[in-house]
A and B are shown apart, each in its own frame.
Chain A
Amino acid sequence: MSTYAKLFRMPPITPRWNTIKDNVKRQVFAETELEQRTLKSISRNTLLPTKVRMQAQLQLSAMPKLSKMSQIRNRCVMTGTGRSVVGDGVKLNRIQFRTRAISGELPEYKIGGW
């Protein structure tokens, strides 16, 4: 089964509080992902009786906020910053991305002038 939240690789710098917090959230979600998915599918299924659906929804809401997918934020792999992270396969901050693209470590990206 493919997981939404892959384990966050800790950046090679000295760990900060934000990176540690994000790493903990990902690990907790990966453990409780199967429970959350099953409860969500039961609560959304209209063919099932309402009592069962309500019970599943209550169990889902009783779980801690820390274990939810919405609490995870993508971070830069090298620096650990949460702002201006380049998506689409590149897990880097804009400054790290720019230095690598100019030096040629990301060969798919080229400098454009217009």
Chain B
Amino acid sequence: MINSGFKSLNQIRLNSVSAVLATPSQAMIQKFIDNKSLQTTSINKLKSELERLYPKDATYTSSDIPFNIKALYFHPRINAKTHNEKVATLVFKSYEKDNLHFMADFAMRAGFYAGCVLSEPLKLKTERALRTYNKSPFVHSKSKQNFFKLTRKIQIDVFDTAPEALDLLLANIVKYAKPGVALEVENYTKQTLEGNFIEGLPSNKYMASALAKDPLFRHIKPLAESELFLQFSQNSNIKINEEVAEVKEDKKPEVIEAKKAEEEK
């Protein structure tokens, strides 16, 4: 009885659907066929191109592959150092290996064409976080479970590059980033004690010209050199520094003489 009841229900549904649906017109069918043919042709073109670029048994000796893809079979190239000035350090971090090694390789290859001077990738020590917790409440504390977390790291040092080239590299890395990989960047600049840029260094070459063009810096520079700023600085800090300097000068010879006397004895 129950089975027969279900059958009848299904039949009713099917009949109702067929009645509601309108029969497709000839134009609709033609459009569908045209779209399908277009799709098949485009897919076939793509397939043929992919087979040409990435053949199944491809090696670096095969002649069909273009040069930029053939370079992937070799070790990434490195630009030569000129000043040996460290500009930045890139540290890639992740919990898994595959994407981490890919991003390090990508950074080396992108850095070469951006004009950066990179060192070879250096594997840092893995951070381990071990945790043990009870499987159950306090009473059954003998049965425990261990969890561990490993963070792999790869460091790449950057030498002798202009900040524009470094920005280009970082923008490329961020654009084609893989999931689960973090990037930590430390950027260094060298300046004199007076705050001036050093001539000749690649990191300062573009920075000095950019600051000269900056309207805010042009507005502040005469203020910093004016007498008002000097008076303000004298009132606040220099008094204390002078006292300290006087004390040091007085104490220095006494200490030296006492030491000399001890050594002679």
Contact = CB atoms under 8 A, between A and B. Distances in A.
Contacts, number: 32
Contacts of A84: 133
A108 B149 contact: yes
Contact of A108 (B95, B130, B240): B95
A112 B147 contact: yes
Nearest to A111: B147
Contacts of A98: 133, 135, 145, 147
Interface of B: 95, 129-131, 133-135, 145-149, 151, 240
Contacts of A109: 131, 147-149
Interface residues of A, number: 16
B133 A112 contact: no
B133 A110 contact: no
A94 B133 contact: yes
B146 A107 contact: no
A5 interface: no
A110 B145 contact: no
Contact of B147 (A47, A107, A110): A110
Contacts of B130: 112
A101 interface: yes
Interface in A33-79: 47
8 contacts: A47-B240, A84-B133, A101-B147, A108-B95, A108-B149, A109-B131, A109-B149, A112-B147
B148 A112 contact: yes
A94 B148 contact: no
Contact of A113 (B133, B146, B240): B146
Contacts of B131: 86, 109
Interface in A94-110: 94, 97-98, 101, 107-110
A84 B132 CA distance: 12
A77 to B, nearest CB: 17
A86 B130 CA distance: 12
A62 B134 CA distance: 44
A88 B128 CA distance: 12
A45 to B, nearest CB: 12
A96 to B, nearest CB: 11
B111 to A, nearest CB: 28
A84 to B, nearest CB: 8
A111 B144 CA distance: 11
A4 interface: no
A111 B146 contact: yes
Contacts of B95: 107-108
Nearest to A86: B131
B146 A112 contact: yes
A94 B133 CA distance: 7
A76 to B, nearest CB: 13
A101 to B, nearest CB: 6
Contact of B148 (A47, A97, A110): A110
Contact of B129 (A88, A101, A111): A88
Nearest to A102: B145
Contacts of B135: 98
A94 B141 CA distance: 13
A17 interface: no
Which 5 A-B pairs have CB atoms at the shortest separation, nearest pair first? A112-B146, A108-B95, A112-B148, A94-B133, A109-B147
B149 A97 contact: no
